[in-house]
A = this chain, B = another copy of it.
Amino acid sequence: MKMSEGIEWAIHCCTLLAALPEGTALPVGRLSEFHDVPKDYLAKHLQSLSRAGIVQTTRGPGGGYRLGRPAERITLLDVVEAIDGKDPCFQCTEIRRRGPSAVGAAAYKKPCGIARAMWSAEAAWRRELQKVTIAALVAQAAEEVDPKQIEKSISWLERTTGG
């Protein structure tokens, strides 16, 4: 069970967009340059974020992507679900209804106990993701990340928003 690499990209993009000066936006070309990932494929993921309202877009010169709401109100769960969908990872195929022990459909009122246990664990995962906001990640990075890297990022950003 591997998670799409696009999720990693999307989260990184959100943290970068959170550092963007008010009133400015970053086009996909610059986002892909910053993260060194394929531009067209990144664009697909950003479109998913856009549809989910996590980012807002404006077309045309000077346009691009910016956060759709304050970073305090964007959680990792929001991003994960925007990219990966909301379907549970564990898919119950109702094998209990097959084979020689199967009985009439009326006997299967509750979901399969195995599925319930798996889904319950997934719920715990989602709850944890929901606790972490983009703002928290940015704050954490401000503490931990090498000042040199932060400086480089800021000057790179200024090259965009200034020009």
Contact = CB atoms under 8 A, between A and B. Distances in A.
Nearest to A92: B8
Give the number of times this chain occurs in the complex, counting copies: 2
Interface of A: 1-5, 7-9, 11-12, 15, 33-37, 76, 84, 87, 89-93, 95-96, 98-103, 107-108, 110, 113-115, 117-118, 120-122, 124-129, 132, 137, 140-141, 144-146, 148-149, 152-153, 156
A115 B144 CA distance: 14
Contact of A1 (B2, B95, B146): B2
Contacts of A89: 1-3
Given A1-B1, A103-B152, A124-B128, A35 B95 contact: yes
A145 to B, nearest CB: 8
Nearest to A117: B132
Nearest to A134: B114
Contacts of A122: 125
Most buried by B among A98, A103, A107: A103
